[in-house]
Amino acid sequence: MPKEFLLHSHHNGLKTAALLGLLTAMILAVGYWLGGSGGLVFAVFLSLALNAGSYFFSDKLALRAMRAQPVSEAEFPALYQIVRELATTAGQPMPRLYVSPTLQPNAFATGRNPQHAAVAVTTGITQLLDRRELRAVIGHELSHVYNRDILISSVAAALAGIVTSLAQLAIFLPLGGGSDDDDSPNPAGLLLMLILGPLAATIIQLAISRNREYQADADGAALTRDPLALASALEKIQYGAHRLPLPADNRLTSAAHLMIANPLRGGGIASLFSTHPPMEQRVARLRQQAGAVYR
């Protein structure tokens, strides 16, 4: 694997460890605050269960959300050729390939590591992009895999789920400060947990997603040696996604951060929590990268 991918993978591993340490400490503290030693024990087991589930099954959940199906080389020979070429260049194993029967142009990668990775594209993106642009998009998605971005996202999503579960647990456990004859939870404390707990975990997840998109753009362009092709592809994908937004149901919302472009309709306060940087900035960076390469 090229040195730059090893470096970014190492940095993302450190970020994953830091995120785990910070949020796990917070979760254990909240568990103890809500239920004393019993709440602490519950928080520990919940952390282990949700992290294991996210680590081993996150790829299946994302693929199911987009109704993506595995495809053979006979069905999509050009796609296989592109992915095999880029994986060989990066010195990495061939990922599993999936196609989603979705007209919106989009793509995503999932899996806990390069040995258990999957790359999925929609029918819409195969119809919209030319071969050079599709190759650039695949380079972006493979960079997510090689940089261990998917692992970071899975960990953040799992920890967000833990915080939410603990907030729900507050309904059944009394909080400190209640009267001896009243075992119901403190309404103010419960409201605070229900709002701020999931919000804090979500903000952390989204902040990581924004940073990783810029890095995957840069690394994907370096892998394909064609930043202008990725810039062109992103502009087309952005236009297509705006014309054909996906419904914001629970399954698609949980998988949206994996996509190369936001598949949901934005606007209003929802834009504050977008999992993707502004497309104009991504395109501008890629053109700047191309200028540095060709200078």
Q: Are 137 and 80 in contact (CB under 8 A)?
A: no
Q: Are 153 and 205 in contact (CB under 8 A)?
A: yes
What are the structure tokens assigned to 56, written together?
A: 């081993």
**Residue entry with tokens 């419960």:** 190
Helix, strand, coil abundance in the chain, percent, nearest 5:
70, 5, 20
Q: What are phi and psi of 262, to 5 degrees?
A: -60, 120
CA 12 to chain centre: 13
Strand partners, 107: 121
Scanning 180-278, the segments in alpha helix (DSSP H) are 187-224, 227-243, 250-255
3 state DSSP class of 142: helix
CA 240 to chain centre: 21
Q: Clarify whether 141 is annotated catalytic.
A: yes
Q: Which of 73, 75, 141, 280 is catalytic?
A: 141
Closest to 86 measured CA to CA, from 232, 265, 271, 226: 226
Active site residues: 141
